Amino acid sequence: MRRWLPHPLIALALAAVWLLLANRFSPGHILLGLVLGVAISRFGARFWLEIPRVHRPLLLLRFIGVVLSDIVVANLAVARRILGSPERLRPVFVRVPLALTSDLAISLLANTICLTPGTVSSRLSPDRAHLLVHALDAADATELAATIKRRYEAPLREIFEP
C-alpha cells in the first residue's frame, strides 16, 4: 500500500485537477484521473524533499474559510483606499518574527499575507527568523504584526507543526 501509494493526498489532488481540466465527470474520466494521480505521485515522489503532513484537516478547512472571507474584506479595503486620497495613506514596513519552521508552512503564510488586508510579504530573512511585510495603510505596526501572528500563523502552526 505504502509502496504503491506513497502520497494519497497528492494522488487525490491530482485526480481532482484532472477532472477539473477535463471538465467532465464521467466514470471514465474519474478512473483516468485516479490512474494519473497514483502514477504521477509515485514517479514524482523522489523529487519532493519534504513531505507535508496535515495534522488537523478540519482546522485547515476553517483556515481556508477565514482566508477567503478576509480576501473579500481586503479587496474592499484596498479599493476604498485607492479611490480615497492616496496622500493620507500610512505605508509601513513591519518585521514579523516567525515561529514556523517548515518550508510549506512559511510559504503558505507568505502567500496568505499577500492575499489579505493591505499587506505584501517582501522578504524572508536569510535565517528564516523574520518575514518583512509591507502594509499599505497601518496605524499601528506592532498591532499589525500581532494580528498576522494570531490570525494566520497560529492556525498554520497547529496544522503543520503540532
Partner 1 sequence: MLDALLSFLILTGAIFTFIGSLGLVRLRDFYTRLHGPTKATTLGVGSLLIASSLFFSTRGEGVSLHEVLVTLFLFITAPVSAHLLSKAALHLKLHSLAPLPQGERSESSGPNRSTVSQNSERDAQ
Residues at the site binding partner 1, with contacts judged by CB under 8 A: 17, 20-21, 23-25, 71-72, 74-76, 78-79, 82-83, 86-87, 89, 91-95, 110-115, 118, 120-124, 126, 128, 132, 134-136
Q: How far is the CB of 150 from partner 1 (least distance, A)?
A: 20
Q: Identify which of residues 45 and 72 has a Cβ nearer to partner 1 in the complex.
A: 72
Q: How far is the CB of 3 from partner 1 (least distance, A)?
A: 30
E-assigned strand segments in the chain: 92-97, 119-124, 130-135
Strand order in the sheet with 130-135: 92-97, 130-135, 119-124
Q: How far is the CB of 136 from partner 1 (least distance, A)?
A: 5
C-alpha cell at 22: 477535463
Q: Contact at 8 Å (CB) between 79 and 135?
A: no
Q: Identify which of residues 75 and 150 has a Cβ nearer to partner 1 in the complex.
A: 75
Q: Identify which of residues 24 and 46 has a Cβ nearer to partner 1 in the complex.
A: 24
Q: How far is the CB of 162 from partner 1 (least distance, A)?
A: 25
User: Please, what sign has the CA dihedral across residues 103, 105, 106, 108?
Assistant: positive
Q: Identify which of residues 134 and 151 has a Cβ nearer to partner 1 in the complex.
A: 134
Q: Spell out the residues 6+ positions from residue 91 whose beta carbon is closer than 8 angstroms to its own.
A: 134, 135, 136, 137, 138
Rounded CA gap, 33 and 21, in Å?
10
Q: Identify which of residues 3 and 24 has a Cβ nearer to partner 1 in the complex.
A: 24
